[in-house]
Amino acid sequence: MADKPRRPRAETPKGFRDYFGAEVTERKAMLDRIAAVYHRYGFDPLETSAVETVEALGKFLPDVDRPNEGVFAWQDEDADWLALRYDLTAPLARVAAQYRNDLPSPYRRYAMGPVWRNEKPGPGRFRQFYQCDADTVGSASVAADAEICAMLADALEEVGIPRGDYVVKVNNRKVLNGVMEVAGLAGDDKDAERGIVLRAIDKIDRLGPDGVRALLGEGRKDDSGDFTKGAGLSAEQAEIVMGFTTARRDTGAATVARLRELVGASVIGSEGVDELEGIAALLDAQGYGPDRIVLDPGVVRGLGYYTGPVYEAELTFEILDEKGRKRQFGSVAGGGRYDGLVKRFTGQDVPATGVSIGVDRLLAALRAKGRSTAESAGPVVVTVMDRDRMADYMGMVGELRQAGIRAEAYLGNPKNFGNQLKYADKRQSPVAVIQGGNEAEKGTVILKDLILGAKIAESATLEEWKDRPAQVEVPRTELVAAVRKMLGQ
């Protein structure tokens, strides 16, 4: 007897997830608020294809040991290698080069959408996630960097992260390059070491000073026993780099002064300190003080393509982790200047700067703060008491929808009325509309307040219950007005 064909397993692929109703609504509401801020700043929306050529994407993933391994790629029939985009910046560089004669310069755009990374999934780490970017292409002025930092602060406040619960930290890669020069790490032959130093500093919050010191030296063994090769710096060189990570002072001016000491005679380093000073002055002039944006030499960003200012938005409030320990929520956005990215296509320098918000992380932060931005109430459900009168029920639904009220008729098997109310409950429906034969004859409908009904058992006093019963009978002609009243509209 032939084997029965095996049924496919109904499961999400490893590292991916599904998003249902309230989550999708919540995300859209948050992105709409962010888009309104970006729009106010004069940025235009852009949607690019989810697929790019591997050549156009370039080798810019943080995982330098596996360049191009981090993308989902395949070979097309005409031998071109294609891949799902792993961020929204590489596609922007391609667009800026491809349409350079048609786009205004500078070109300011924002983009929102999913990106894909072929990386090892872990708790809270998925292979598909949403990003929300804003970039200015074609301006070398630090005013463009300052503007992005101000816009990021505004966007966080707009979605519900109050001042005091976040800080935007600003640094400059040129300053770090200057410090590395002083530490004897200048020159093309030191590229690998500089890359290790960058990634080590980027992990200071997670590994602490001792862990970073180990990575600057011979290397570090983690708790699982895995060994990460270090940059091989001497103790003296490592101390110069570590001095950079602790250079932040109480004021921007004091931090700038300390950085000037650290970069010494390095020309690139001094240039970076000047740029930081310029950004601080521009933000100060617009009223963005240290309660919102600070200079912090500890921020380096792991990506290799940053060439100047870099910034990161960190949420400073505490949450409990899965083991019940208090910890700060951490980073939800980051970015910087990447003047070399468009040059790959055009051969000419095209300055650019931008920021990327981790959408899922920011949503999780809003949930942790109890500041979800979307209404999760389900539709008003019109129940079906008599199959032959479906047109009447659909008429009610139509009236409610015309009045701007979310509504639907029950389309399952109407035999068991209890199942209809269970369905309404599962849909988080605020109101059920009921009209049996008796009510139809009288020209009335019954409205059942499902939210109050559920609450009565646990909280409502007798007076509240009498004042607003969970079920009322109203004339059919007053359906819309009565539902509105029940919804508190």
Q: Is residue 341 part of a domain?
A: no
35 in a structural domain: no
408 in a domain, yes or no? yes
Q: For 49, phi and psi rounded to 5 degrees? A: -60, 150
* pLDDT at residue 35 in the model: 96
pLDDT at 248: 83
Domain total in the chain? 1
Measured between alpha carbons, how far is 86 from 126 in angstroms, rounded to an integer? Answer: 12
- In a structure prediction context, what are the per-residue pLDDT tens digits for the chain, which is 489 residues long? 567 888 999 999 999 999 998 889 899 999 999 999 999 999 999 999 999 998 888 765 544 444 456 888 888 888 788 999 999 999 999 999 999 999 999 999 999 999 999 888 877 778 999 999 999 999 999 999 999 999 999 999 999 999 999 999 999 989 888 888 887 777 776 777 777 777 777 777 777 777 888 888 877 877 777 777 777 778 788 887 787 877 888 888 888 888 888 888 889 889 999 999 999 999 999 999 899 999 988 787 766 678 899 999 999 887 766 666 777 778 899 999 988 888 889 898 899 999 999 998 899 888 887 766 555 678 999 999 988 999 999 999 999 999 999 999 999 988 888 899 889 988 889 999 999 999 999 999 999 988 776 665 555 555 554 555 678 999 999 999 999 999 887
Q: How many alpha carbons fall within 13 Å on the CB side of residue 472?
A: 18
Structural domain span for residue 443: 380-487
Inside any domain, residue 252: no
Asked if residue 448 belongs to a domain, the reply is yes
- β-partners of residue 356 are 133, 334
* pLDDT at residue number 64: 46
| Token pair for 161 | 């992260």
pLDDT at 163: 93
CATH code (residue 421): 3.40.50.800
Residue pair 459/468 in contact (Cβ under 8 Å)? The answer is no
> What integer pLDDT is reported at residue 59 of this predicted model?
64
Q: In what order do the strands lie in the sheet with 51-53?
A: 51-53, 81-84, 73-75
Residue 375: predicted pLDDT: 59
In Å, what is the CA distance from 249 to each residue of 70, 257, 262, 402? Answer: 38, 9, 13, 60
Q: Which residues lie closer than 8 Å to 66 by C-beta, 6 or more apart? A: none
Report how far apart, in Å, the C-alpha atoms of 120 and of each of 68, 90, 124, 204, 307 are.
14, 22, 11, 22, 28
Asked if the structure places residue 97 within a domain, the reply is: no
Q: What pLDDT does residue 466 have?
A: 52
190 domain residue, yes or no? no
- Residue whose C-alpha is closest to residue 340's, from 330, 351, 331, 325: 351
Would you state the pLDDT for residue 67?
46
pLDDT of residue 65: 47
Read off the pTM: 0.81
Task: Tell me if 459 is assigned to some domain.
Answer: yes
Give the count of alpha carbons within 13 A of 155, CB side only.
33
Which helix (DSSP H) or strand (DSSP E) does residue 128 occupy?
strand 128-137
Residue found under tokens 């047109």: 391
CA distance 451 to 349: 60
